[in-house]
Amino acid sequence: MAATMAFAAFHPLPTLRRVPFLRRISAATEFNISFGAAPSPDVKEAAPKTLVPDPSSPDPSAAPIPMLIPWIVRGEDGQLTLQSTPPARFLQAMAEAKMAKKEKKKVDKKKPSGATATATAPSSLASTTSAPKYSKAARRFYNQNIREQPQRLSKVLAAAGVASRRSCEELIFEGKVTVNGLVCTSPQTRVDLAKDSIYVNGNRLSKKLPPKLYFALNKPKGYICSGSEDSKSVVSLFGDFLKSWSKSNPGLPKPRLFTVGRLDVATTGLIIVTNDGDFAQRISHPSSELRKEYIATVDGKVNRRHLGALSEGTEVDGVHCIPDLVELLANQPDASRPRLRIVVHDGRNHEVRELVKNAGLQLYSLKRVGIGGFRLPSDLGLGKYVELKQADFKLLEGNAQKKT
């Protein structure tokens, strides 16, 4: 009731005027009207009230009367109060709605003119689907550390599984490789596999490279360390893995596996098989001085003179090679021949065989059981392989040996 009275005080009702209701009535129309009892003469009928307009004319120079809207607000005490200003939370909601409307207009202006599917999307959804912006420092870090940089053409072909790097260089020299429609005869040409179109013998090179693979193989006797798929090649032991590659990895070219270093045909034991050329070069190069452990089984008896000769070393390929460790192992009940543990780091061809021969011993069998800090798993059978784990790479690179 108080709100109604306040509203009436600030907003007077306009003047009303009675308008006679005129209607043309036909003369033939008859009315049957009955009236109630006449009022008592003692009762005086109130005169009808009429609204009279305000005779005073408004002053044009006077300031206009402000329009006040009453607000009924519930206070902190829970009681309703009347005030002439809107509540603070109402003003805040209006300001937030206004800002949201401006943000939506900005997003709509950034959208392309042909975008109709997302024209009516909310501003929050449009902000998540719009292309993110990165600073120059972020783009520089991506280009230097994450994005693959252009590489030599011969290296890209070898990584794609075309052939060995040396064979890829021969293909390039023979003019069988084209880059962006032009014959390229320089293996050092820098190419970007994601941007450049490369053809080898008329076949286009896939834009995707196979992932890097690393295996530890227990090489049997009689197999050669060759990258070919010959029946007596180490790679032939991965025949089932390569045959199922297309099914398990659709769209990716088949990897070209090869051995890291070599073991001669009569030597058994641990050898690493991969398709990562940089990794193979880092592990097998003599400058890495990576320790390799062998178990040599010899005929006859081993005395101190033999052990002394082994420790003094011998000349291999014009370089005097001295082993890091020579140890006579304890006899086993099921083995009649003595066994020697020999650790070398030079990585020369037939180095262990030359050491045993120079000491005056007859070698019966030779098995490699360790590279760096990584050892051949005892439960890995001949001809079987296991994929290397992340922790194995530190052992292969000799970090465990450096700590000791």
Total residue length of the chain = 404
Q: What is the arithmetic mean of pLDDT over 64-83?
A: 72
First-residue to last-residue Cα distance in the chain: 94
Q: Read off the tokens for 28.
A: 């033939």
The percent of residues above 70 in pLDDT, for the chain, comes to: 72
Q: What is the arithmetic mean of pLDDT over 263-292?
A: 87
| C-beta separation of 168 from 188 below 8 A | no
Q: Look at residue 82 in the predicted model and tell me its pLDDT.
A: 78
CA distance 37 to 138: 99
For 338-358, the DSSP string reads: -EEEEEE-S--TTHHHHHHHH
Residue 310 pLDDT level (bands cut at 50, 70, 90): very high
Q: Look at residue 341 in the predicted model and tell me its pLDDT.
A: 94
The single residue of 230, 264, 278, 317 carrying the catalytic annotation is 264
Residue 81 pLDDT level (bands cut at 50, 70, 90): confident
Pick 147 or 205 by higher pLDDT: 205
Pick 77 or 198 by higher pLDDT: 198
Under 8 Å CB-to-CB from 98, ≥6 apart: which residues? none
Helix 351-358 to helix 304-312 angle, to the nearest 10 degrees? 140
For 184-223, the DSSP string reads: ---TT-EE-TTTS-EEETTEEPPSSPPPP-EEEEEEPTT-
Q: Look at residue 356 in the predicted model and tell me its pLDDT.
A: 92
Q: Residue 10, SS3?
A: helix
- Strand 177-179 with 268-274, pairing: unpaired
Q: Look at residue 68 in the predicted model and tell me its pLDDT.
A: 66
Mean per-residue pLDDT of the chain: 77
Pick 80 or 216 by higher pLDDT: 216
Q: Look at residue 117 in the predicted model and tell me its pLDDT.
A: 43
Q: Look at residue 342 in the predicted model and tell me its pLDDT.
A: 94
Q: Look at residue 85 in the predicted model and tell me its pLDDT.
A: 77
13-62 residue pLDDT tens: 554 455 444 445 444 545 455 545 555 555 555 555 555 555 555 566 66
Q: Look at residue 99 in the predicted model and tell me its pLDDT.
A: 84
The yes-or-no verdict on residue 173 having pLDDT over 80 is: yes
Under 8 Å CB-to-CB from 2, ≥6 apart: which residues? 82
| C-beta separation of 311 from 342 below 8 A | no
The percent of residues above 90 in pLDDT, for the chain, comes to: 28
Q: What is the arithmetic mean of pLDDT over 302-313?
A: 91
Pick 97 or 121 by higher pLDDT: 97
CA distance 84 to 44: 44
The yes-or-no verdict on residue 113 having pLDDT over 70 is: no
Note if 264 is an active site residue: yes
Domains and CATH numbers, the chain: 151-204 (3.10.290.10)
Q: What is the arithmetic mean of pLDDT over 288-304?
A: 90
Residue 97 pLDDT level (bands cut at 50, 70, 90): confident
Q: Residue 4, SS3?
A: helix
The yes-or-no verdict on residue 363 having pLDDT over 90 is: yes
CA distance 362 to 269: 20
260-266: long-range contacts (C-beta < 8 A, 24 or more apart)?
260/284, 261/225, 261/347, 262/225, 262/349, 263/219, 263/225, 263/368, 264/350, 264/353, 265/221, 265/222, 265/223, 265/224, 266/221, 266/222, 266/365, 266/366
Partners of 387 in the beta sheet? Answer: 215
- Strand 268-274 with 362-371, pairing: parallel
Q: Which of 130-139, 179-188, 265-274, 318-327 has the lowest mean pLDDT?
A: 130-139
Q: Look at residue 42 in the predicted model and tell me its pLDDT.
A: 59
- Residue 220 CB coordination number (10 Å): 15
